[in-house]
Structure 1
Amino acid sequence: MPDTLLLDNSHAGICLVTLHRPEVLNALNTRLLGELAAELERLERDDSCRAVVLTGSRKAFAAGADINEMAERDAVGILNDPRVACWQQISRFSKPLVAAVNGFALGGGCELAMHADIIVAGVDARFGQPEINLGIMPGAGGTQRLLRAVGKSMAMQMVLTGEPIDARTAQQVGLVSEITQPEFTVERAVQIAQAIARKAPLAVRLAKESLLKAMDTDLASGLRFERHAFTVLAATDDRREGISAFREKRAPVFTGR
């Protein structure tokens, strides 16, 4: 069992993963990132897991990178940082990932939240990239994902000033999909994940991949991928089941084939 994560499999088809370094507001050190990457890799292979909810504590989703650990590394150490491989593994996770964010999501914490496909935030959440205050800049996707999520002007403001934005602003600029009271953030994220988990797994996976393609390719290439994925799904058992269930006015039973 991981030391820095809490795992809850009590929700059918859903795995709830909680970052657990409460003494340092879930600061992301090498151990936590390594355990998270390993857990997501395991869940990738687990057919019983249809979606994952990732959360932290009521006070902080993750307050950033572990500064004490970072201070021990020089330029060469950073270049060979084992956390790079962990971030790459996390970014390759193909199943639906919903983040439930309360409190601080700063620096690496904001970058980790942006790895999720959907972010549900408590009204007290704060998102920011304060690395500029340490004489550095975001290094785990904070410039690239943030600009795609909130647009150039807001991304520039957040990264160059280091000032965080609140949950309402995050929703207005497109970083967050929903805002809840903090005590309901995880519950709402689980509800969304459960709704996704009831859908056809192959359709969910290809739909997610197609949406992500739209962020990093031109329109013509994205449309080609979408048409190909649509054609692939047309030959699946789940497509036939979905149409039959609709016509018979019953709930579909998807098998992932």
Structure 2
Amino acid sequence: MTADTIQLDDAGDRYVLTLDRPAQRNAINAAMIGQLHEACARVEAAPKPVLLTGRGDHFAGGADIAELRERGRAEALAGINRTLFDRVARLPVPTVGAISGFALGGGAELAYACDIRIAAPTARFGNPEPGLGILAAAGGTYRLPELVGASVAKQILLAGRILDADAALRCGLVMSIADDPLAEAHTVIDRIAKQSALALRLMKTIVDAPGSQPWVDDIAQAVLFETDDKRDRMTAFLERKR
């Protein structure tokens, strides 16, 4: 799938989804929102892990400000960006973001929606929305505190702190820093692809669910215990030990 603003490549055991507006620092406009929804629909129909990255030097420098300026109350209540980023977060597969350069505003919120983030040394995360008279309403206020804690989140959301790669690593926002974050993200997905797709899907669903419901773990485990995949994997493990 190639569109005006993104490229979705089927790489066999994974998808590679690339934001493709490098001249605009991959700013997220309405066309990109629509095309990302189409990409999500394809992943939902044929689930495989997703590697999300940006073309060029930056992941995404934010939302398209010219479009945001013209949005009014109705567009805000529709949650245009939030609805997409929540859909990305709910994809039934692990998602790994390879982040270079700016991940600011809506770009940062899209990065927060990934399950795992790998940063280049150049990566910068921030939410400067209040300086534009708005708030980080597409995941910043509720997803970021879960990722880095309320104190660091308030530093970013209220005081305008920009996290560089080292700071992002220290607070757990990123898994690692790599000179080639795309290659490192592929390495992570190599490990993911070797695991049980159903186990990963159930695990992600449970981890992301609000509250603690241990009985849900029991039900999910009961489902997995009855699969041929579980028996085959455990048999292979025991045979390797012999």
TM-score range, shorter chain: over 0.9
3-state SS of the aligned residue for 1:146? helix
1:246 alignment partner in structure 2:
237
- Deviation for aligned residue 1:177: 0.7
3-state SS of the aligned residue for 1:61? coil
Runs of 5+ unmatched residues, structure 1? 251-257
2:169 alignment partner in structure 1:
171
3-state SS of the aligned residue for 1:55? strand
Matched, 1:191 2:187: yes
- Deviation for aligned residue 1:195: 1.3
1:38 alignment partner in structure 2:
38
Is the contact between residue 58 and residue 103 of structure 1 (CA under 8 Å) also seen in structure 2?
no
Instruction: Look up the equivalent residue of 1:168 and give its one-letter code.
Output: D
Residues 60 and 196 of structure 1: CA distance in aligned 2, closer, same or farther (over 3 Å): same
Q: Percent identity?
A: 39
Matched, 1:23 2:23: yes
Take 1:85 and 1:117, find their aligned partners in 2: how far apart are those partners? 17
Please provide the CA RMSD for this pair. Answer: 1.6
3-state SS of the aligned residue for 1:133? helix
Instruction: Look up the equivalent residue of 1:125 and give its one-letter code.
Output: A
TM-score, with length taken from structure 1? 0.88
TM-score, with length taken from structure 2? 0.93
Residues 82 and 159 of structure 1: CA distance in aligned 2, closer, same or farther (over 3 Å): closer
- Deviation for aligned residue 1:25: 0.5
2:128 alignment partner in structure 1:
130
- Deviation for aligned residue 1:88: 3.9
1:212 alignment partner in structure 2:
208
Residues 211 and 82 of structure 1: CA distance in aligned 2, closer, same or farther (over 3 Å): closer
Is the contact between residue 33 and residue 87 of structure 1 (CA under 8 Å) also seen in structure 2?
no
Is the contact between residue 82 and residue 137 of structure 2 (CA under 8 Å) also seen in structure 1?
no
3-state SS of the aligned residue for 1:27? coil
For 1:1-257, list aligned pairs within 5 A. 1-10=2-11, 12-46=12-46, 49-80=47-78, 82-181=80-179, 184-213=180-209, 216-217=210-211, 219=212, 221=213, 223-249=214-240
Is the contact between residue 123 and residue 165 of structure 2 (CA under 8 Å) also seen in structure 1?
yes
Large movers: runs of 4+ above 6 Å: none
3-state SS of the aligned residue for 1:95? coil
- Deviation for aligned residue 1:7: 2.6
3-state SS of the aligned residue for 1:64? coil
- Deviation for aligned residue 1:113: 0.6
3-state SS of the aligned residue for 1:226? helix
